[in-house]
Amino acid sequence: MSARQTIHRPPALGSVVRAQLRLILGRRPRAMWIALAIVLAQIVAAATGGILFGITIQSGPDQPTRLFFSKVSDFAGDLDFAIDEGAVAVAVAAIGAFIWAFFWPFRVWRGENPQGRGYHWAMPVGRRTHDLLRVGAGLALLPVLTAILAIVAVATAAAFGHTAVFPGWGVLFWVNLFAGPPLIYLLVSIPVVGSRHPSAWLWGTLGAGVALVSLLHAAGLIRLTEPLFGLLLGRAGLLTTLGGPIVSEIAGWSGRPAAPWALAWLCWLALAAVGVWLAATRRHRSI
C-alpha cells in the first residue's frame, strides 16, 4: 500500500462524536422541535404552578378578569394523600422529560432514511460503531434537556414562594428524574436503529399490546393478562421502574428500599442497551 493511502484513514472517534452532536443539535433546528420544546416547558411551568398553588380566576367590577396562581388548593383538603408538593413539581418535569425521551430518537436520526441509511453507512467508520455513536450522542444530550425541564419546574415553584421544593428529598429522587429518560430513549431507539419502519413497529407494538389485553378481558381471560401487567407494573416492571422513587415520594412511600428499584433500573437499562446493540448489529440492514 502506498504512503499516499495511509493518510486516508478513518477519523478519530472523538471527531465523529462531535460531528454527531453537532448534527443532532442542528444549525437550523426544525420549527416543530422548537415548538415542542416551548410547549413542553410551558406545560411543565403551568402544571407545576397549578398543582402547587392552585389556579384562581379573579374578576370584579373594578378589575379585569385575571388568571393567576394562588395558594387556594394545596391538596390538603378532605382527602390528604400526603403529597409532597415539591415532588409533584419535579414529577411534572419528569413526565415532560419522559415524553421528550420517547420522541428524541426520531430527532436524533432526523434526515436519515430508515429504509437505508446510505450516507451514514458510507462514512469511514464501522457501521455498528457509527450507529452506536449516534445513539450515544443523543443519550448524552438527554440529561441536559431533563435538567432544563427540572430547572423550569423548580424555578416556577420557587417563583411562587414554594421554597420547600429543594430540601428533604433523597438523592434517588433526583437520580430517578435523570434515570427514566435514558431508559425510554434506549428502548425507543431499538426500532429506530434496527427497523426500516420504526414508527410502525413502535405504535404497532403498543397497539397490539392494548388490543391483546382488551381481547383477553373481553374473553374473560384476565389471568392471561397478568404477565403483561407484571412486565409493566410489577415490582420490577417497566412503568414501576420509570416511576420509581418519584412515585414513592409523591405517594408517601419514602420508606421503600431503594436497592430493588436501582437493580430493576439497571436490568432494564442493560436490556435496552443490548437491544440497541443488536439492532445496530443486524447484518441484513443493507441497502
CB of 277 to other proteins, least distance (A): 17
Please work out the total of residues on this chain that contact other proteins, with binding judged by CB under 8 A.
Answer: 41
Query: Does residue 283 interact with other proteins by CB under 8 A?
Result: yes
**How many residues make up the chain in this entry?**
287
Query: Does residue 121 interact with other proteins by CB under 8 A?
Result: yes
CB of 287 to other proteins, least distance (A): 5
Query: Does residue 256 interact with other proteins by CB under 8 A?
Result: no
Among 123, 140, 145, 224, binds other proteins (CB under 8 A): 123
Query: Does residue 260 interact with other proteins by CB under 8 A?
Result: no
Residues 125-154 close enough to bind other proteins by CB under 8 A: 125-127, 129
Return the amino acid letter for 164: A
Helices 238-250 & 222-233, crossing angle to 10 degrees? 60
Nearer to other proteins, 49 or 194 (CB): 194
User: Of 109, 111, 106, 113, which Cα lies nearest the Cα of 131?
Assistant: 109
Residues 18-77 close enough to bind other proteins by CB under 8 A: 18-19, 22-23, 26-28, 30
Residues of this chain that bind other proteins (CB under 8 A):
1-2, 4-5, 7-12, 15-16, 18-19, 22-23, 26-28, 30, 110-113, 116-127, 129, 283-284, 286-287
